Amino acid sequence: MNFFAVVCYQLAIILPAEATWNEQAAFALVLGQTPRIALGSLAAFLVGSFLNAYVMSKMKVFSKGKHFGQRAILSTVAGELADSIIFCTIVFIFVIPFDILWMMILTQTSLKTLYEIIILPVTARVVKHVKRIENTDVYDEKISYNVLKLMNNE
């Protein structure tokens, strides 16, 4: 839907405005940025989510399933830092000064990590409950993390 909205916005910018509309330049300035926002959002989500899951998975094997809180927080820091770097860079590079860009990245990462810390007791209870109901605890010891691999050839 994001990319459909981008196409609609670009068409609205290209099509001639109604004769009494005097704000076409502002309209184009604001909505003209949506391709960068959609691309940045998608790329950041894909990389950040993968990195979060990867770090969580590797740390679980390394810690033998212990220290869920530490795993959750550190994987969030890794994933959200990557997410923020990618999103902010794609959307705001050469638009705002670098010092503000880095402050945005650090602020986003800090706030998302703070949220993870605040919600961690709920997350831990939900994970424990699901493991008990499903009677399983998965360890990703012998899996491929290659995102380009389409099939398991074993």
- Provide mean pLDDT across the span 78-106: 96
Predicted TM-score of the model (pTM): 0.83
- Provide mean pLDDT across the span 36-56: 95
Q: Give the pLDDT band of residue 111 (cuts 50, 70, 90).
A: very high
Percent of the chain at pLDDT > 90 equals 80
Q: Which of 1-5, 54-58, 149-153 has the lowest mean pLDDT?
A: 149-153
Q: Give the pLDDT band of residue 152 (cuts 50, 70, 90).
A: low
The 3-state secondary structure of the chain reads CHHHHHHHHHHHHHCCCCCCCCCHHHHHHHHCCHHHHHHHHHHHHHHHHHHHHHHHHHHHHHCCCCCHHHHHHHHHHHHHHHHHHHHHHHHHCCCCCHHHHHHHHHHHHHHHHHHHHHHHHHHHHHHHHHHHHHCCCCCCCCCCCCCCCCCCCC
Percent of the chain at pLDDT > 70 equals 97
